[in-house]
Amino acid sequence: MLEKKINQARKIKRDLSYWLDDTKRSLLQPFFSQDFINQKELRIVGLKRSGNHAIITWLRRHYQERVWHLNDVAPGRNPYRHLYEHYSRPALKQEADGNFSQKKCLIYNYENYTFESIINSLLEKKHDLYLGKSQIRYDLLILRDPYNTFASILQGQINDNNFSYLHTLPKNKKTITELWLDYAKEFLGETNYLQHKKVTINYNQWTTSEQYRNNISEQLGLDFCDAGFDIVKNYGGGSSFQGTDFDQQASKMDVLNRWQKFIDDEEYRKMLNDEIREYSQKIFGHIEGTEGLIN
Cβ partners under 8 Å of residue 40, min gap 6: 104, 105, 106, 134, 135, 136, 138, 220, 221
In this predicted model, what pLDDT tens digit does every residue of 156-198 receive, in sequence order?
775 555 545 555 565 667 889 999 999 999 999 999 999 999 9
Secondary structure of residue 178 in the 3-state scheme: helix
Can you give the pLDDT at residue 246?
40
Can you give the pLDDT at residue 165?
54
The answer on pLDDT for 252 being more than 90 is no
Give backbone dihedrals phi and psi of 42, rounded to 5 degrees, phi first. Answer: -115, 110
Q: What is the mean pLDDT of residues 70-79?
A: 93
Can you give the pLDDT at residue 248?
42
The answer on pLDDT for 245 being more than 50 is no
Distance, CA of 293 to CA of 277 (rounded, Å): 10
Most confident segment among 61-65, 229-233, 251-255: 61-65
Q: What is the mean pLDDT of residues 65-76?
A: 93
The answer on pLDDT for 223 being more than 90 is yes
Query: What percentage of the chain's residues is helix, strand, coil (to nearest 5)?
Result: 50, 10, 40
In this predicted model, what pLDDT tens digit does every residue of 139-160 receive, in sequence order?
999 999 999 999 888 887 755 5
The H or E element that residue 46 is part of is strand 41-46
Which residue would you say has higher pLDDT here, 101 or 234?
Answer: 101
Q: Provide the phi-psi class of 251: left if phi over 0, else alpha when psi is between -120 and 50, else beta.
A: alpha
- Cα separation of the two ends of the chain: 48
110 close to 73: Cβ distance less than 8 angstroms = yes
Distance, CA of 43 to CA of 136 (rounded, Å): 11
**Least confidently predicted of 97-106, 113-122, 129-138, 195-204:** 113-122
Pick the CATH number of 36-285 from 3.90.550.10, 3.40.630.10, 3.40.50.300, 3.90.1560.10: 3.40.50.300
* Predicted TM-score (pTM) above 0.95: no
Q: What is the mean pLDDT of residues 211-224?
A: 96
The H or E element that residue 44 is part of is strand 41-46
Mean pLDDT rounded to a whole number for the chain: 85
Can you give the pLDDT at residue 166?
53
The H or E element that residue 138 is part of is strand 137-143
Which residue would you say has higher pLDDT here, 12 or 112?
Answer: 112
The answer on pLDDT for 104 being more than 90 is yes
In this predicted model, what pLDDT tens digit does every residue of 45-61 receive, in sequence order?
999 989 999 999 999 99
Which residue would you say has higher pLDDT here, 235 or 134?
Answer: 134
Distance, CA of 277 to CA of 239 (rounded, Å): 24
Which residue would you say has higher pLDDT here, 258 or 41?
Answer: 41
Give backbone dihedrals phi and psi of 193, rounded to 5 degrees, phi first. Answer: -75, -40
